[in-house]
Structure 1
Amino acid sequence: MTDHLMPFIGLCLLITITPGLDTAVVVRSTMKFGRSAGIRTALGCAAGLFVHATLVAFGLAELLLRSEALFALVKFTGAVVLVGLGLRSLWAAWRIGPAHGAAVPALTEPGRRGTPFLQGLLTNLTNPKATLFFLAALPQFVPVGSPGQAVPVALGLAMIAVAFSMTGLGLTALSVHRIRHLLRSRRVRRVQEALLGATLIALGVRVATE
């Protein structure tokens, strides 16, 4: 098991330091609503990742991949979520409007504490690449000669991947929060919202067309 564990940890580390959809959503959430929202978004992404891994471990993901209609629906839903978030960022950029030197107070969203978690969860759950990753990776590290241990070992490896994801996204949220105060002028925030919105929309279109 140890011989298989270190390569899997290396693979998880490589995936963690590669920016993706989860990273973009965590950055957006942290920039708009602060560190706590960013952490909750990261928790949502990590929870979604564990769901993908659990489905693969129990063989349900193979059924999803065999159904082209269901797979397409999942992809389309994920694309809609990303495009929706991107449009919200573009709308925020338009609402900020052109101004010179004025500071924009920190944005908060009272009464919607669960929203960042749900956004992270939906973003990850509707990303077929997460299922494909586990479907391709887990069988390489699960002992073939011990069928009874396959599911426990797969779930254990999944927890390692989730821990790496949560750590990486959490550090991203903390880092973005530390420089958030430097980005509060109207001009900078408008550019940031516009760029982030365009990026999320582009990611959504890419998910839908891949």
Structure 2
Amino acid sequence: MPSVEVLWAYLIAVLLLTLTPGVDTLLVVRNTARSGVGSGSVTSLGICTGLFVHATLSAIGISLILVQTAWAFTLLKWAGACYLVWLGVASLRQACARHEVEAPADAPLRVRASHPRDFHEGLLSNVLNPKTALFYMAFLPQFVNPEGHVLLQSLVLAAIHFVLAMVWQCLVALVVGHSHRLAIPFWIKRALHGLTGGVFIGVGAKVALSQT
């Protein structure tokens, strides 16, 4: 197993990574605003479960194969880009939805929660993210003792990331989920859905057009 010093260095690095806003955090915010804290938390569970997939692929070298095989990496990149665009379109559709009566502040209008859907959205968002695959391929080996059990060490490091990310994203879900108590006007919520959709589509387009 890695030394205590190495684990502390990993903890600091992955904590900074977790606190940096990105697509994962944005997805948690979107799903929480759509269906409540439970949906945001389940989305986070799906996202964090994907970390074990990347850790396993990194340990057995498949991530390296994806990077060195141009067509495989391109396929992964386009799959991730299309999925982000699909999420963005779904957010824009929600932003453009017409409602005859605006919901009162104490009973915000939300889509009925579907935890399997939330989990799958989070999992696919993480697993289909080529940047996450590249990050784990380049990042985890720096903290793995090659003389030990590489797969076990990778999974332990992913578990640490899992706990930190779950705690942070669930806190984000709690904050967003209880924001209705601030009596935010419906048009602002609609604008946020529109902004979220635009960001997803923009990130998806950037991923698709990137050369690496």
Same fold (TM over 0.5): yes
Q: Name the CA distance, whole Å, in 2 between partners of 1:182 and 1:87.
A: 27
What runs of 5+ residues in structure 1 fail to find an aligned partner? Answer: none
Aligned residues: CA RMSD: 2.1
Q: CA separation of 1:54/1:14 partners in 2, compared to 1, >3 Å: closer, same or farther?
A: same
Q: What's the TM-score, normalizing by structure 2?
A: 0.89
Matched, 1:48 2:50: yes
Aligned residue in 2 for 1:109: 112
Structure 1 window deviating more from structure 2 (173-182 vs 68-77): it is 173-182
Matched, 1:152 2:152: yes
Question: Alpha-carbon deviation of 1:48?
Answer: 0.9
Aligned residue in 1 for 2:64: 62
What runs of 5+ residues in structure 2 fail to find an aligned partner? Answer: none
Question: Alpha-carbon deviation of 1:150?
Answer: 2.3
Aligned residue in 1 for 2:171: 171
Q: Name the CA distance, whole Å, in 1 between partners of 2:168 and 2:188.
A: 26
Aligned residue in 1 for 2:24: 22
Q: CA separation of 1:183/1:43 partners in 2, compared to 1, >3 Å: closer, same or farther?
A: farther
Decide whether the 8 Å contact of 1:75 with 1:126 is kept in 2: yes
Deviating beyond 2 angstroms after TM superposition, the runs of 4 or more aligned structure 1 residues are: 96-106, 148-151, 180-186
Q: CA separation of 1:181/1:78 partners in 2, compared to 1, >3 Å: closer, same or farther?
A: farther
Q: How many residues align?
A: 207
Q: Which amino acid aligns with 1:135?
A: M
Aligned residue in 1 for 2:187: 187
Q: CA separation of 1:2/1:205 partners in 2, compared to 1, >3 Å: closer, same or farther?
A: same
Question: Alpha-carbon deviation of 1:78?
Answer: 1.1
Question: Alpha-carbon deviation of 1:33?
Answer: 0.6
Q: What's the TM-score, normalizing by structure 1?
A: 0.90
Decide whether the 8 Å contact of 1:98 with 1:187 is kept in 2: no
Matches within 5 A, 1:81-160: 81-96=83-98, 105-109=108-112, 112-144=114-146, 146=147, 148-160=148-160
Question: Alpha-carbon deviation of 1:81?
Answer: 1.2
Question: Alpha-carbon deviation of 1:106?
Answer: 2.8
Q: Any idea what SS the aligned residue of 2:178 has?
A: helix
